[in-house]
């Protein structure tokens, strides 16, 4: 049975069709001759999967005696031509061709013409697919020739050695043996399908036996064939067989034999047709077939044979390298296994699984060590019993699993996470308020609210004798130190610090972990924090909590509800661990720029501490205490012998930076500008060092007096200080634009105040009338306003009409169309705090009276004229002072916020607190008759 299967495999390789099966009894004497040729038991070798040639198939040169017929059926080949003396098995699937072959067999004729298809040539008519559309030639049409322009006219006169037709002539298998060269003369009958052509034999011309070139080429071909046999022993059997039937003295036959040799090292023999030969290879072989000159034919055949030999050498080299590497790896693996076995027998080493279990047991024993051995419950573990039970069960499960199974790795990773968590381990808290206050003050300037809250936390923990987890949310503009204060809090409390950002996070698994069934599953960020810090009471900073995303993986904000709820996080269950973890001792600190985007239930669980932006004096103090020393150290100018001692950045320069370049609420931009200044100073220092390389004392050249400093850094670039006007030389930026757009306000223009995440700024409201026939009193608003601000414009328009009717009933201002605009249209704006400003601008335009000079205001306005409180009073006050405002109108509800401001911000400001719009109207337009009109 094995021989039958081997013969079937050989036939499949010959015909190139996986569905073709060799007859079951092909190896029996009663089988057809061509089947016995492929299943010759005497020539079969189990170590060689190629099919040996049978004596009954071909002998090179015998085809010259084959009888010629006047016309033959055309059979095309697509890969390579058929040489005389070579066997070519084929499968025909075109019904017309199979019928023609069956007719040939019935008539007793067994010769056909085999011709190579040209590269890119078409040999048949366009066929139609199953849908009825005409397309490229189908597989069935590849065997049908109806156009001679697509084939080469020089081919082989071949004998059909064997032919098997399938049912209904749907396909046929035949074995062709090349006999001699032929050329097409003409079409025999153009009406027949497939084509029959008249042929003429191509005779080899006589050659000069004494030609030295012919002898040299012949000897070189024989030598090359011997080299191929040496490189591939599997090819040796075929060469030995054909060498007995080749007339070496006939150079024509030798050239044909050499050209027909295929890639021996690729385990392809001359009898197979599955060897991957490119179209270019087929054209080169066709040129050998068409060549009649003996010397040229030998030359072309030798070139092809040399290419095959070079390819065989490369393949042999690759094979040897791979075998050498594989053999080396196998040898190392075998020696390692033997070494493990020997050590195991001697008791010197355990296998990997036992070593792993031992490691887990040691960790489990460490769990059972109580915090205080002198306590009565010293024999008990400080780890929950259910955790110990899970670890024991998983270890027993791991002991029963095979090392190569997927479940083994999953269980091992799970045990690794369980045994590495700090069950019951924690750092000793610092309850020293004085030391904590010193640490907080040393790291950050200001932030009194945050520092006060941390000191309260320490005091409560000290009185209670235990520490409870808290959730604090720091809300403020960028750059005010929200993230850095978290590190200082952890240092003041002597806690481990861990930070992760949830900005843009949309996968719940990042918070609660993945299920163990997933490939590459791992716990969530909180469990990773516990493993990283090895403490059950760390400080976890959740950054950018106001920028949480939401996707198809779930809602992370909802997942944080359990995490940040003190009543629930005592038994937080991660999806990966699937056991409760106590997070009640963890101090969570969240940061956000705004609270508007934080979900209400999540915001309700946090204690919000708002951080307002820094004003000018605070920024100068922060720069002197923190930013300048840090920038000097980063730029290499601190304690350097090459830097003049007169180097300094005075307060005047920092104030100019704050006023002209760094008006945001935080100090991040100020830090970048200071670093930029000192980087340029460092460049000047290095350039001067290079200039003075030839001097005997380079350091002395830097210890110069102020009158010589211009030689190195220019005038007035950087001497003993950087002047306020010199800062622009160090920063590649234009001076900041003035926030005051109008020196003198015209009717209909009022300065408002806005507050964003970046700080406070002035916000002008501009109004004008649109002259048009048939005005309807409509209001057009522009300036990229949000929905809330759009509603404020409608409220302002309605209230202004009502107010004007009370003040000046005869005024027909609101019968005209009005355009209200907020400058800087490229910047989105939203919020209700511009309501009072809009009404004031409309009334100013209606009365044709400008508002009071150096006036700014803010406040939300209701439809009945109530002035409602707004946020960002400190930032808006800073923006007002920056714009040169002397009179400020604020809502009465913000009086407490204004009183908490530093005195230097309030000095020089005439502040009016308004309960109703009439209070605003009196100050802005100096309209004393307002009460009487009302």
CATH number of residue 705's parent domain: 1.10.8
Does the annotation flag 89 for ligand binding?
no
CA distance linking residue 218 with residue 250, whole number of Å: 9
- Range of weakest confidence among 292-296, 500-504, 705-709: 705-709
Q: Which two tokens stand for residue 475?
A: 């809300």
| Of the residues 156, 178, 201, the one at which a domain ends | 201
Measured CA to CA, the distance from residue 515 to residue 41 in angstroms comes to 59
| Higher per-residue pLDDT: 368 or 586 | 586
Task: Indicate the residue among 372, 391, 420 that finishes a domain.
Answer: 420
CB 39, CB 30: distance < 8 Å:
no
Same domain, 443 and 573: yes
- For residue 455, the model assigns a pLDDT of 87
Task: Using the predicted structure, report yes or no on whether residue 16 has a pLDDT greater than 60.
Answer: no
* Residue 420 and residue 531 in contact, taking contact as beta carbons nearer than 8 Å: yes
Residue, of 890 and 44, whose pLDDT is higher: 890
For tokens 């609210």, the residue is 449
Q: DSSP letter string over 136-147?
A: S--TGGGG----
Query: Cα-flanking dihedrals φ and ψ of residue 820, to 5°?
Result: -115, 125
Would 526 be classed as within a structural domain? yes
Q: Are residues 587 and 680 located together in one domain of the fold?
A: no
For residue 583, tell me if it sits in a domain: yes
Q: Are the C-beta atoms of residues 513 and 577 closer than 8 Å to each other? A: yes
Mark whether 704 and 579 lie in a shared domain: no
pLDDT of residue 59: 52
DSSP 755: E
- Tell whether 516 is covered by a domain: yes
52 marked as part of a ligand binding site: no
Which has more pLDDT, 897 or 5? Answer: 897
Per the domain annotation, does 734 fall within a domain? no
Question: Is position 567 annotated as part of the catalytic site?
Answer: no
In order of 11, 458, 559, the CA distances from 564 in angstroms are: 73, 20, 9
- Residue 207 included in any domain: no
Q: In this structure, are residues 566 and 588 in contact, taking their beta carbons and an 8 Å threshold?
A: no
Q: Which long-range contacts (CB under 8 A, 24 or more apart) does 727-731 make?
A: 727/653, 727/656, 727/657, 727/660, 727/661, 727/677, 728/660, 730/676, 730/677, 730/680, 731/657, 731/661, 731/673, 731/676, 731/677
Range in 405-419, 526-540, 700-714, 733-747 with the lowest mean pLDDT: 700-714
Q: Which structural domain, as residue segments, surrounds residue 228?
A: 212-262+276-319
Count: domains in the chain: 7
Residue 789 lies in a domain: yes
- Mean pLDDT computed over 599-620: 84
CATH classification of the domain holding 828:
3.30.230.10
Same domain, 450 and 577: yes
872 is in an annotated binding site: no
- The H or E element that residue 286 is part of is helix 279-290
Residue 16 counted as an annotated binding residue? no
- pLDDT over 90 at 50, yes or no: no
Is residue 754 domain-shared with residue 903, that is, in the same domain?
yes
822, 853: one domain: yes
Once rounded to an integer, what is the mean pLDDT over residues 89-99?
87
- pLDDT for res 702: 35
Answer yes or no: 876 catalytic: yes
**Among candidates 586, 613, 594, 745, which has minimal Cα distance to 670?**
613
Paired with 856 in beta bridges are 888
Question: Which residue, of 389, 420, 451, is where some domain finishes?
Answer: 420
Q: How many CA atoms lie within 13 A of 886 on its CB side?
A: 4
Rounded Cα distance, 313 and 265, in Å: 8
> How many other β-carbons are positioned within 10 Å of the β-carbon of residue 208?
10
Helix 448-464 and helix 433-443: axis angle, to 10°?
160
Together in a domain, 167 and 231? no
pLDDT single digits (tens) 754-798: 887 667 788 899 999 887 766 677 888 888 888 888 999 999 999
Residue 426 forms part of a structural domain:
no
786 is in an annotated binding site: no
Q: Rounded to whole angstroms, how far apart are CA atoms 356 and 459?
A: 46
Q: Which residues contact 342 (CB under 8 A, 6 or more apart)?
A: none
| Cα-to-chain-centroid distance, residue 64 | 68
Total Cβ atoms within 10 A of residue 363: 15
Strands 196-201 and 154-165: unpaired
Chain centre distance of CA 844: 57
Q: Which residue in 492, 680, 876, 883 is the catalytic one? A: 876
β-partners of residue 173 are: 91, 164
pLDDT given for residue 54 in this prediction: 38
If asked whether residues 594 and 536 sit together in one domain, one would say yes
Residue 556 is part of a domain; what is its CATH number? 3.40.50.300
Residue closest to 593 by CA, chosen among 492, 664, 674, 508: 664
pLDDT at 795: 92
| Same domain membership, residue 220 and residue 188 | no
Catalytic residue among 781, 833, 844, 883: 833
Distance CA 264, CA 232 (A): 7
Are 119 and 160 within one domain? yes
Alpha-carbon gap, residue 890 to 867, rounded angstroms: 9
The pLDDT tens digits for 423-469 are: 878 888 888 888 888 888 888 888 888 888 888 888 888 888 777 77
Confidence check: pLDDT of 704 > 50: no
Is the domain of 721 the same as that of 755?
A: no
Cα separation of 408 and 455, whole Å?
49
Average pLDDT of the residues in 559-587? 86
pLDDT tens digits, one per residue of 666-689: 888 888 888 887 777 787 777 777
User: Where is mean pLDDT largest: 133-137, 313-317, 392-396, 801-805?
Assistant: 801-805
At 436 the pLDDT is 86
Domain-located, residue 919: yes
CB atoms within 10 A of CB 767: 25
Count of other CB atoms within 10 angstroms of residue 234:
16
- Residues 707, 780, single domain; the answer is no
What is the predicted pLDDT for the residue at 671? Answer: 85
Mean pLDDT of 719-737: 38
Residue 476 annotated as part of some ligand binding site: yes
């Amino acid at each position: 049975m094995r021989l039958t299967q081997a013969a079937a495999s050989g036939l499949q390789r010959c015909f190139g069709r996986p569905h073709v099966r060799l007859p079951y009894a092909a190896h029996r004497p009663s089988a057809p001759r061509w089947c016995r040729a492929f299943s010759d038991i005497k020539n079969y070798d189990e170590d060689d999967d190629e099919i040996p040639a049978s004596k009954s198939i071909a002998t090179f040169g015998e085809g010259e005696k084959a009888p010629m017929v006047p016309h033959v059926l055309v059979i095309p080949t697509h890969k390579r031509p058929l040489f005389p003396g070579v066997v070519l098995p084929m499968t025909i699937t075109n019904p017309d061709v199979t019928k023609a072959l069956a007719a040939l067999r019935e008539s007793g004729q067994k010769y056909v013409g085999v011709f190579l298809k040209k590269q890119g040539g078409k040999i048949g008519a366009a066929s139609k697919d199953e849908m009825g559309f005409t397309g490229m030639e189908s597989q069935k049409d590849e065997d049908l020739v109806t156009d001679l322009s697509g084939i080469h006219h020089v081919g082989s006169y071949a004998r059909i050695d064997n032919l098997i037709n399938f049912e209904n002539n749907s396909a046929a298998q035949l074995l062709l043996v090349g006999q001699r060269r032929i050329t097409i003369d003409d079409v025999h009958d153009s009406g027949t399908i497939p084509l029959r052509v008249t042929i003429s034999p191509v005779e080899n011309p006589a050659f000069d036996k004494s030609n030295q070139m012919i002898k040299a080429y012949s000897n070189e071909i024989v030598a090359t064939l011997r080299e191929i046999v040496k490189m591939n022993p599997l090819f040796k059997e075929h060469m030995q067989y054909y060498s007995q039937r080749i007339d070496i003295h006939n150079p024509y036959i030798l050239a044909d034999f050499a050209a027909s040799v295929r890639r021996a090292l690729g385990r392809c023999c001359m009898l197979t047709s599955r060897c991957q030969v490119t179209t270019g290879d087929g054209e080169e072989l066709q040129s050998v077939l068409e060549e009649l000159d003996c010397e040229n034919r030998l030359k072309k055949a030798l070139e092809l044979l040399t290419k095959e030999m070079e390819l065989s050498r490369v393949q042999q080299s690759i094979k040897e390298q791979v075998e050498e590497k594989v053999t080396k790896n196998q040898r190392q693996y075998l020696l390692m296994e033997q070494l493990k076995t020997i050590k195991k027998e001697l008791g010197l080493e355990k296998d990997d699984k036992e070593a792993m279990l031992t490691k887990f047991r040691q960790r489990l024993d460490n769990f059972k060590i109580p915090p205080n051995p002198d306590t009565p419950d010293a024999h008990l573990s400080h780890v929950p019993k259910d955790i110990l039970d899970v670890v024991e069960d998983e270890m027993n499960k791991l002991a029963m699993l095979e090392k190569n199974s997927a479940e083994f790795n999953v269980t091992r990773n799970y045990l690794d996470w369980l045994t590495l968590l700090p069950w019951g381990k924690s750092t000793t808290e610092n309850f020293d308020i004085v030391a904590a206050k010193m640490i907080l003050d040393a790291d950050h300037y200001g932030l009194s609210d945050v520092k006060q809250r941390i000191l309260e936390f320490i005091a409560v923990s000290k009185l209670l004798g235990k520490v409870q987890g808290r959730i604090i949310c720091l809300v403020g503009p960028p750059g005010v130190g929200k993230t850095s204060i978290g590190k200082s809090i952890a240092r003041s409390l002597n806690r481990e610090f861990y930070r992760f950002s949830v900005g843009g996070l949309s996968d719940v698994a990042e918070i609660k972990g993945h299920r163990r069934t997933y490939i590459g599953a791992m716990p969530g960020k909180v469990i990773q924090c516990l493993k990283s810090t090895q403490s059950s009471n760390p400080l976890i900073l959740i950054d950018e909590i106001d920028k949480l995303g939401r996707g198809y993986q779930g809602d992370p904000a909802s997942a944080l509800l359990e995490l940040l709820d003190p009543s629930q996080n005592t038994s937080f269950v991660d999806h990966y661990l699937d056991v409760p973890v106590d997070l009640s001792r963890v101090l969570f600190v969240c940061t956000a720029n705004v609270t508007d985007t934080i979900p209400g239930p999540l915001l309700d669980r946090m204690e919000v501490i708002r951080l307002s932006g820094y004003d000018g004096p605070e920024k100068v103090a922060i720069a002197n205490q923190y930013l300048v020393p840090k920038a000097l150290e980063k730029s290499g100018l601190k304690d350097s012998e090459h830097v003049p001692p007169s180097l300094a950045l005075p307060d005047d320069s920092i104030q100019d930076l704050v006023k002209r370049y760094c008006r945001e609420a935080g100090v991040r931009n100020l830090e970048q500008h200071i670093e930029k200044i000192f980087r340029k100073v460092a460049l000047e220092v290095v350039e001067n060092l290079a200039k003075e390389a030839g001097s005997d004392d380079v350091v002395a050249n830097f210890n110069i007096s102020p009158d010589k400093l211009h030689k190195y850094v220019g005038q007035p670039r950087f001497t003993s200080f950087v002047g306020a006007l010199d800062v622009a030389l160090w920063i590649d930026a234009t001076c900041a634009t003035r926030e005051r757009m109008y020196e003198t306000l015209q009717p209909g223009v009022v300065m408002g105040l806005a507050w964003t995440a970046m700080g406070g700024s002035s916000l002008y409201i501009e109004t004008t009338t649109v002259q048009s026939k048939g005005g309807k009193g409509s209001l057009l608003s522009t300036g990229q306003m949000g929905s809330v601000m759009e509603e404020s414009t409608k409220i302002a328009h309605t209230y202004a009409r009502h107010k004007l009717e009370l003040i000046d009933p005869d005024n027909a201002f609101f019968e005209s169309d009005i355009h209200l605009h907020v400058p800087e249209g490229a910047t989105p704006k939203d919020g209700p705090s511009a309501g009072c400003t809009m009404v004031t601008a409309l009334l100013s335009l209606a009365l044709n009276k400008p508002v009071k000079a150096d006036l700014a205001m803010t406040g939300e306005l209701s439809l009945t004229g109530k002035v409602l409180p707004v946020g960002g009073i400190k930032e808006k006050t800073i923006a007002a002072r920056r714009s040169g405002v002397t009179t400020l109108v604020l809502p009465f509800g913000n009086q407490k916020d204004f009183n908490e401001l530093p005195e230097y911000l309030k000095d020089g400001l005439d502040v009016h607190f308004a309960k109703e719009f009439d209070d605003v109207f009196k100050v802005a337009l100096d309209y004393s008759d307002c009460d009487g009109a009302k």
